[in-house]
Chains A and B, each alone.
Chain A
Amino acid sequence: MNSELKPVMEGIFDAGASPRLIGAICSKCNQKFFPKPMVCPHCLGEVEDVKLSPEGKLYTYAVLRTKAPYGLPQPYAVGWVDLEDDGLRIFSLLDPEKISELDFGKQVTLRVGAIGVDNNGQPCLRYYFTTKKKGCD
């Protein structure tokens, strides 16, 4: 991984070999969020950073076949992933190399990699989920 690349948005993940998304948890009502809000929108309590589970389950997905924005591959896939340990459903890019393996309820794992460009047209790091191989991970 190119360590000089910036994340697509600051503060949303820890990159590296075992990447983690950085969400938030409300100190009062324990609700979790991703991305981190200013305060808890439910009770206006203070929120603290929390690392979210890198394992999830695919709730739904779709593949865009036309010209992609932000220099993303054509085609590319996106989906909503259930992070069951956190009680959160989050939107994410999905592994462009694994489009044919996508299915409802599929187990997926977090990755961070150099995909596409940011709002300034600069190559950047994005988080994405990839499908887990049976019997591995």
Chain B
Amino acid sequence: MRAVDIIGVGITKFGKYIEKSLVELGGRVAIEAIKDAGIKPSQINAGFFANMQAGSLFSDFTIGQNVFWQAGINRVPVFNVENACTSGSSAFNLAWMGVASGAYDMAMVLGAEKLNVPNLGLMQSGTTELDTLEGMVVPVSFAMRANLHMATYGTTKEQLAMVAVKNRRHAGLNPLAQFRDPITVEDVLNAPMIADPLTRLSCCPNADGAAAVVLCASELSRRYTSRPVRVAASVLVTGSYQNPCNLAQWDADKRASSMAYEKAGLGPEDLDVVECHDAFTISEILHYEGIGLCPEGEGGRFVESGATSLGGKIPVNLSGGLLSKGHPIGATAVAQIIEGVRQLRGEAGSLQVEGAKVFLAECMGADKAGDVKTCTVNILIN
């Protein structure tokens, strides 16, 4: 396998784009990524497009080809990828594999989503699943984890709320985040209850948005940029679906991050910056433990210590996370990787972690049997 670099990125602000089509949003970031990489569209050997909901919301299919052609990419293989919240990082994993294998010298990964539609309702794991029919919707699934974590480890409602407060404080410094006004622990606790202990401010909002990256074989990347960012590991795992399931810990996080650390020859102590899938406040706490930032059960106390804030030991979700940016599903995990590229290029402005060298992005998607269907860990280095 060859080493692979990221040489170009493009991203929209996450928010409401009622008047813009998915193809326009995607086309815009494809063009931006090509310009950022300093390449011509004809140099892209393959395109991987990530989206989850356009099929059900807009009866729209095989959208990647439409999006890539907006940026002049045609004739080459184009794949449309759906893998719930990890659609973007799954597309990234495929593109990385394609370039690493030597099949392509250059590939584009692009995630785009439009969720601002009337009556979207709560996300669930598919209407043919028995769990869905018995009332499993995403917020209640995470509330069950939160309740168990609180009962098992003594995590408090206030500690859960601190995740949202911290990420919003970071978002205040990120012009691309959707919600940027500071909030307090009281604001989070007093917001309308969704599924106890998760209030509206404990759950990530919907958003529209798009994000793209250009991957290039490392042996060629210096022709195009003086600041390539290396993909040190790209891992995707699915759930083990073991019964009985453990809802207080995420085995998939542990398996995916262990594999990624091993491939990169690094450990959690080497990380400078992390983006993780904070769809709910409890998720971020579980991810701290899953990827080894703190011991099992300590996630609540870890956020309270300030370790994961800007200036702390290991800043997590400096972008503001999904909790402040919103969650345009297909774009989410690509945007996480772009945060890493900005940090490792030294372009993160007031959110810059001085001398950042190692970045980890974790993403997770979809419920099955008390486990997750998909979990990705990508490690970037400079």
Question: Which A positions have Cβ atoms within 8 angstroms of B?
Answer: 8-9, 12, 33, 35, 41, 59-70, 72, 76, 78-80, 82, 87-89, 91-93, 104, 118-119, 126-127
The answer on a CB contact under 8 Å between A60 and B137 is no
Once A69-B121, A78-B134, A91-B134 are accepted as A-B contacts, the answer to whether A62 and B247 lie under 8 Å apart by CB is: no
The answer on a CB contact under 8 Å between B133 and A70 is yes
Additional A-B contact list (10), CB under 8 Å, known A80-B247, A80-B370: A59-B244, A62-B144, A67-B121, A69-B121, A69-B135, A76-B135, A82-B244, A87-B243, A119-B133, A126-B133
Partner pick for B144 among A67, A79, A119, CB 8 A cutoff = A79
CA distance A133 to B259 in the complex (A): 48
Once A12-B130, A60-B247, A82-B244 are accepted as A-B contacts, the answer to whether A91 and B136 lie under 8 Å apart by CB is: yes
Question: Which B positions have Cβ atoms within 8 angstroms of A?
Answer: 121-122, 124, 127, 130-137, 139-141, 143-148, 151, 192-196, 241, 243-245, 247, 370
B131, B133, B139, B243: which has the most chain A beta carbons within 10 Å? B133
Contacts of B193 in A (CB 8 A): 65
Once A80-B370, A89-B243 are accepted as A-B contacts, the answer to whether A127 and B195 lie under 8 Å apart by CB is: no
Contacts of B130 in A (CB 8 A): 8-9, 12, 35, 91
CA distance A87 to B243 in the complex (A): 8
Query: Could you tell me the distance in whole angstroms from the C-beta of A86 to the nearest C-beta in chain B?
Result: 10
Partner pick for B196 among A41, A59, A65, A91, CB 8 A cutoff = A65
The answer on a CB contact under 8 Å between B135 and A78 is yes
The answer on a CB contact under 8 Å between B135 and A60 is no
Once A63-B195, A89-B244 are accepted as A-B contacts, the answer to whether A69 and B124 lie under 8 Å apart by CB is: yes
Partner pick for A61 among B137, B147, B192, B244, CB 8 A cutoff = B147
Partner pick for A119 among B127, B146, B194, CB 8 A cutoff = B127
Once A8-B133, A78-B134, A88-B244 are accepted as A-B contacts, the answer to whether A64 and B139 lie under 8 Å apart by CB is: yes
26 A/B residue pairs, CB under 8 Å, sorted by A: A8-B130, A8-B133, A60-B144, A60-B247, A61-B144, A62-B140, A62-B147, A63-B140, A63-B195, A64-B140, A64-B143, A64-B194, A65-B192, A65-B193, A65-B194, A66-B195, A67-B121, A69-B122, A69-B135, A80-B245, A82-B244, A88-B244, A89-B370, A93-B135, A104-B148, A119-B133
Partner pick for B134 among A68, A82, A88, A127, CB 8 A cutoff = A127
CA distance A85 to B211 in the complex (A): 50
B132, B140, B147, B245: which has the most chain A beta carbons within 10 Å? B140
The answer on a CB contact under 8 Å between A69 and B144 is no
CA distance A11 to B213 in the complex (A): 47
Contacts of A72 in B (CB 8 A): 135
Query: Could you tell me the distance in whole angstroms from the C-beta of B151 to the nearest C-beta in chain A?
Result: 5
Once A66-B122, A70-B135, A127-B134 are accepted as A-B contacts, the answer to whether A78 and B245 lie under 8 Å apart by CB is: no
List the B residue with the shortest CB-CB distance to A119: B127
CA distance A62 to B370 in the complex (A): 14
List the A residue with the shortest CB-CB distance to B132: A69
Contacts of A89 in B (CB 8 A): 243-245, 370
Query: Could you tell me the distance in whole angstroms from the C-beta of A25 to the nearest C-beta in chain B?
Result: 13
CA distance A126 to B240 in the complex (A): 27
CA distance A33 to B130 in the complex (A): 13
Once A88-B244, A119-B127 are accepted as A-B contacts, the answer to whether A93 and B195 lie under 8 Å apart by CB is: no
